Amino acid sequence: MLANLGFRFVATAGTAAALKAVGVPVERVVERLGGDGLNAIELMTAGEITLVINTPRGRGARADGAYIRTAAAQHGIPLLTTVAAAQAAALGLSEARNQRLFVRSLQDIHRTVR
């Protein structure tokens, strides 16, 4: 869904392989933290990341994930930590592009429910 909305993906090698296996294009593969090449935190610092989806599995990934989540918060980058949250965000972004948005107060919403 996010790819269809025009998002481009950056991931470590393992995540990139998993994404590609289900047909999600990955524009750039980055090193895990502590590697020799460019990593996700460096891209966040450079302003090249606009959304972080971080759902680490395994001991090393969890350690890297803590640094990635901290960097996202420090740079004011939206952070999603579950697949369900990523799906909900993608759905919301899709709806926002296809429908006019408006603001209603909670009082107005509850007034119409009664």
Taking only the tens place, the pLDDT of each residue in 34-61 is: 778 888 999 999 999 999 999 877 655 5
Residue 13's contacts (CB-CB under 8 Å, 6 or more residues apart) are: 29
- Provide the pLDDT for residue 42: 93
- Provide the pLDDT for residue 62: 62
Task: Transcribe 3-67 into DSSP letters.
Answer: TTTT---EEEHHHHHHHHHTT---SEEEBPTTSSS-BHHHHHHTT--S-EE----SHHHHHHHHH
Average pLDDT of every residue of the chain: 88
Q: How far apart are the first and last CA of the chain?
A: 36
- Provide the pLDDT for residue 33: 81
* Under-50 pLDDT residues of the chain: none
Domains observed in the chain:
10-113 (3.40.50.1380)
